Amino acid sequence: MFSTAFFYLYKMRALNLLLLILTPTILFGQEAKMHEDTSLASLKQRKAKYESYEYNHRKNIVFLVKISGKKGLLKVKEGDWPDDTEFIYSLLKDEAGKIILITQSPYSQSGDWYIECKHYFNSKGKTFAFSKKETVFDDRVKGEVAMETFLRFYNDRFDVIEKDYRLTDGDDKLIKRNKNDFDFRDFKEQVYSNVSDCLKAYNIKVVNK
């Protein structure tokens, strides 16, 4: 009887010890996964918040243009693009005066296509999202417009944690065709890890408070 009871008690203590060792590991793994999911969800939420802020504060957006043959940028009003414009840049600050969005758009003289490359910056000035949208006219699809969208989200180490690609028509419906069927430009975008590098690369002279 004693040996049986002792053996049972030993097994219970061993099991409890094993659970004590494994539980933090299990919880940590679940916690890490939850944190990763929450982090990504938070980045998507922040991106949506920035876009809403951009829509509601259109008058606060600063527009700059790169003129052919000139090094510096010229500040202009939205839509008032000189004929010899090569690139259009725009930036938006939040209420604290920090830059949250910078957009680069190669300028189409004909208006047959449109490209928009946009950096999204967090409160530390680090890039947490980047999108590239390109639109071309094509009468073979609904709305006679085809759009391809690249979207990437980054962590604080500038590692891509999610990326997405969509090819849609004028009604934002997915197009089940190869992108090579459309006359998209061969514009190679560059993604910068922080606002300072982005400003420098685009030659934007502005102080990020």
Look at the alpha carbons of 107, 201, 122, 32 in this order and tell me if their dihedral is positive or negative: positive
Q: Is residue 95 part of a domain?
A: yes
Other Cβ atoms closer than 10 A to 46: 17
E strand residue ranges, 56-208: 62-67, 73-76, 85-93, 99-106, 113-121, 127-137, 145-154, 160-168
Q: Is residue 118 part of a domain?
A: yes
Separation between Cα atoms, residue 175 and residue 142, nearest integer Å:
9
Question: What is the structure's pLDDT at 14?
Answer: 44
Mean pLDDT of 146-165: 96
Dihedral angle computed from the Cα positions of residues 158, 160, 162 and 165, in that order, rounded to the nearest 10 degrees: 120
Q: Is residue 172 part of a domain?
A: yes
Q: Is residue 77 part of a domain?
A: yes
Question: What is the structure's pLDDT at 70?
Answer: 92
Q: Is residue 4 part of a domain?
A: no
Predicted TM-score (pTM) of this structure:
0.79
Q: Is residue 26 part of a domain?
A: no
Q: How many domains does the chain have?
A: 1
Residue range 14-73, pLDDT digits in tens? 444 333 434 443 333 443 344 433 489 999 999 999 999 999 999 999 999 999 999 899
Q: Is residue 187 part of a domain?
A: yes
Question: What is the structure's pLDDT at 39?
Answer: 82
Question: Which candidate, 103, 101, 156, places its Cα nearest to that of 128?
Answer: 156
Could you tell me which residue, 206 or 160, shows the higher pLDDT?
160
Q: Is residue 6 part of a domain?
A: no
Separation between Cα atoms, residue 18 and residue 36, nearest integer Å:
27
- Host domain of residue 104: 55-202
